């Protein structure tokens, strides 16, 4: 499978090159040249397949020229060593819990898959690759954990000082080995600017091989399609059309779900649920794409004003607004509504949701008011304990720490403080 740049001004590349480059030389995102089809029998018999087998069949067509069968199976076995339960909320709604991985956010799957792919590509290489990533919270932890101890790969994470939660900071700064955390005296936007500048800095080119590990990277993006296939496998309700509500920030996750649909999975509709960062909900109303600087909310992993993967979504629907509208609805919710939803889910279903999942629930509820005949799944993208303060104060209950988190609470945080780009460049060159 080859991948082309959505800016159409760069050579087609293999999966391997697309992963190593991250973004195409013309600044475009990579997109697969074909969307492979899974046969109807795959979906008819999906209950009988293990998660591993589902993942293997779905991802093989994208990577088979670059990752041999046996290695792909090995990688997937390591990546998918936790559960993805579908928890019923009421007779027309379930939630798909994606937070049972090591950092308790759904990004673990993509980050681990990318880490192991890169590790395989650089296994016998003299060269080293440096993964450079800016995080507003969850990405950094998932990437750090996914890449820990992977030979040939150095990881440098930039995070804004004082603007991530204590648990999130511990997940980035307590691992050591090939992981370095740079604490930036500034905002997330400052971190992101420094990372972008490093990628085009002539002073680094030819000296450091850099790649990115956010959802623009195909190795982080594509494996997310597996969530939807796993949900479909667990679905017990038959005869109702299926809709997914996805709490969205950079729109990588929902876009991967749309790829699963294009591969043949029966889905009626997608709902992109956002917080007040409503660039896409606005676009779906007005057909005008007007990105804005992000606003801070209690669902901070979705505080994105210019979602990087939305261009891929438009491409899936041939850059045609009316086609897109048939497949996607998008709604935005305030922090106040999000807290109300956390209360309702707890009162009515005894379910403790995190703020991101709660936004997903709200989007689904809004859609189902008009389409009560559908069966809806909202994705629960993080464990509520990662947003302990908001969740426990909203519900007035204490939350206990799961073992993954407990384990890091007593480790020492280690990071290097930087304030300007020159300090990052100097660090990368040494």
Ligand X SMILES: *Cc1c(COP(=O)(O)O)cnc(C)c1O
Q: Which is nearer to ligand X, 95 or 253 (CB)?
A: 253
Q: Which is nearer to ligand X, 136 or 208 (CB)?
A: 136
Phi first, then psi, for residue 209 (nearest 5°) are -90, 110
Q: Does 97 bind ligand X (CB under 6 A)?
A: no
Q: Are 128 and 122 in contact (CB under 8 A)?
A: yes
Which of 115, 280, 382, 385 is close enough to bind ligand X by CB under 6 A? 382
Q: Distance (Å, rounded) from C-alpha 30 to C-alpha 269?
A: 24
The minimum distance between CB 284 and ligand X, in angstroms, equals 15
Q: How many residues bind ligand X (CB under 6 A)?
A: 16
The minimum distance between CB 246 and ligand X, in angstroms, equals 7
Q: Distance (Å, rounded) from C-alpha 120 to C-alpha 117?
A: 5
Structure tokens at 194: 């420094």
What residues contact 48, with CB distance under 8 A and at least 6 apart?
Answer: none
Q: Does 253 bind ligand X (CB under 6 A)?
A: yes
The minimum distance between CB 228 and ligand X, in angstroms, equals 13
Q: Distance (Å, rounded) from C-alpha 207 to C-alpha 210?
A: 9
Q: Which is nearer to ligand X, 108 or 154 (CB)?
A: 108
The per-residue b/e assignment along 372-386, b for 16 or more CB within 10 angstroms, e otherwise, is eebbbbbbbbbbbbb
- Among positions 202-221, residues that touch ligand X (CB under 6 A) are 215
Q: Does 249 bind ligand X (CB under 6 A)?
A: yes
What residues contact 52, with CB distance under 8 A and at least 6 apart?
Answer: 73, 76, 77, 80
Q: Does 248 bind ligand X (CB under 6 A)?
A: yes
Residue of 12, 60, 107, 282 with catalytic role: 107
The minimum distance between CB 188 and ligand X, in angstroms, equals 13
Task: Tell me the window of 13-21, 27-35, 123-131, 241-249 that interacts with ligand X (CB under 6 A).
Answer: 241-249
Q: Distance (Å, rounded) from C-alpha 255 to C-alpha 309?
A: 7
Q: Which is nearer to ligand X, 138 or 154 (CB)?
A: 138
The minimum distance between CB 139 and ligand X, in angstroms, equals 6
DSSP for 67-131, written as a single string: S-HHHHHHHHHHHT-S---EEEEETTEEEEE---STTSBTHHHHHHHHHHHHHHHTTT-S--EEE
| Tokens 């629907």 sit on residue | 317
Task: Tell me the window of 4-12, 72-80, 250-258, 331-339 that interacts with ligand X (CB under 6 A).
Answer: 250-258
Which of 15, 19, 20, 107 is close enough to bind ligand X by CB under 6 A? 107
Q: Distance (Å, rounded) from C-alpha 146 to C-alpha 370?
A: 41
Which of 22, 247, 257, 363 is close enough to bind ligand X by CB under 6 A? 247
Q: Does 330 bind ligand X (CB under 6 A)?
A: no
Residue 158 host element (H or E): strand 153-160
DSSP for 84-100, written as a single string: --EEEEETTEEEEE---
Kindly list the distances between the CA atom of residue 31 and the CA atoms of 4, 133, 151, 176, 270, in Å, as whole numbers in the listed order. Answer: 5, 21, 28, 34, 20
Task: Tell me the window of 51-59, 156-164, 242-250, 344-352 that interacts with ligand X (CB under 6 A).
Answer: 242-250
Q: Does 302 bind ligand X (CB under 6 A)?
A: yes
Q: Does 5 bind ligand X (CB under 6 A)?
A: no
Q: Does 231 bind ligand X (CB under 6 A)?
A: no
Whether 128 is catalytic is: no
Q: Does 381 bind ligand X (CB under 6 A)?
A: yes
Grouping H, G, I as helix, E, B as strand and the rest as coil, residue 159 is strand
Which of 112, 220, 312, 356 is close enough to bind ligand X by CB under 6 A? 356
Q: Does 404 bind ligand X (CB under 6 A)?
A: no
**Max CA distance (Å), the chain:** 60
Q: Does 312 bind ligand X (CB under 6 A)?
A: no
Q: Which is nearer to ligand X, 153 or 280 (CB)?
A: 280
Pattern 129-148, binding to ligand X, x per CB under 6 A? ---------x----------
Q: Distance (Å, rounded) from C-alpha 138 to C-alpha 252?
A: 14
Catalytic positions are 107
Question: Where do contacts with ligand X occur on this chain (CB under 6 A)?
Answer: 105, 107, 138, 215, 247-253, 301-302, 356, 381-382
């Amino acid at each position: 499978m080859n991948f082309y740049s959505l800016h159409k001004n760069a050579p087609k590349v293999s999966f391997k090159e697309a992963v190593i480059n991250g973004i195409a030389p013309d600044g475009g995102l990579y997109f697969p040249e074909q969307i492979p089809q899974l046969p109807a029998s795959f979906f008819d018999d999906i209950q009988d397949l293990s998660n591993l087998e589902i993942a293997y069949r779905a991802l093989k067509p994208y990577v088979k020229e670059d990752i041999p069968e046996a290695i792909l199976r090995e990688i997937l076995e390591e990546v998918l060593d936790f559960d993805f339960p579908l928890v019923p909320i009421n007779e027309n709604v379930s939630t798909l819990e994606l937070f049972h991985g090591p950092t308790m956010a759904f990004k673990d799957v993509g980050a681990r898959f990318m880490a192991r792919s890169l590790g395989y590509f650089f296994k016998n290489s003299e060269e080293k690759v440096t993964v450079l990533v800016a995080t507003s919270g969850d990405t950094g932890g998932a990437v750090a954990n996914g890449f820990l101890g992977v030979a040939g790969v150095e990881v440098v994470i930039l995070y804004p000082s004082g603007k991530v939660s204590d648990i999130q900071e511990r997940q980035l700064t307590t691992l050591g080995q090939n992981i370095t955390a740079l604490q930036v005296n500034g905002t997330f936007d400052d971190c992101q600017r420094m990372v972008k500048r490093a990628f085009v800095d002539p002073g680094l080119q030819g000296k450091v091989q850099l790649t990115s590990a956010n959802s623009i990277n195909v190795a982080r993006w594509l494996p997310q399609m597996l969530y939807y296939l796993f949900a479909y496998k667990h679905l017990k309700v038959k005869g109702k059309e299926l809709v997914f509500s996805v709490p969205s920030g950079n729109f990588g996750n929902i876009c991967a779900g749309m790829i699963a649909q294009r591969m043949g999975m029966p889905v009626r509709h997608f709902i992109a649920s956002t917080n007040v960062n409503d660039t896409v909900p606005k676009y779906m109303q007005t057909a005008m794409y007007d990105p804005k600087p992000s606003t801070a909310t209690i669902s901070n992993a979705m505080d994105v004003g210019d979602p990087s993967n939305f261009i891929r979504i438009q491409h899936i629907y041939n850059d045609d607004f009316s086609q897109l509208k048939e497949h996607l609805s998008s709604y935005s919710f305030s922090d106040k509504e999000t807290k109300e939803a956390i209360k309702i889910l707890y009162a009515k279903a005894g379910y403790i949701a995190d703020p991101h999942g709660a936004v997903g629930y709200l989007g689904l509820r809004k859609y189902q008011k008009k389409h009560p005949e559908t069966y809806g799944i909202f994705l629960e993208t993080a464990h509520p304990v990662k947003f302990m303060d908001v969740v426990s104060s909203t519900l007035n209950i204490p939350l206990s720490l799961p073992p993954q988190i407990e384990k890091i609470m007593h480790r020492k945080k280690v990071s290097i403080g930087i304030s300007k780009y020159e300090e990052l460049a100097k660090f990368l060159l040494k």
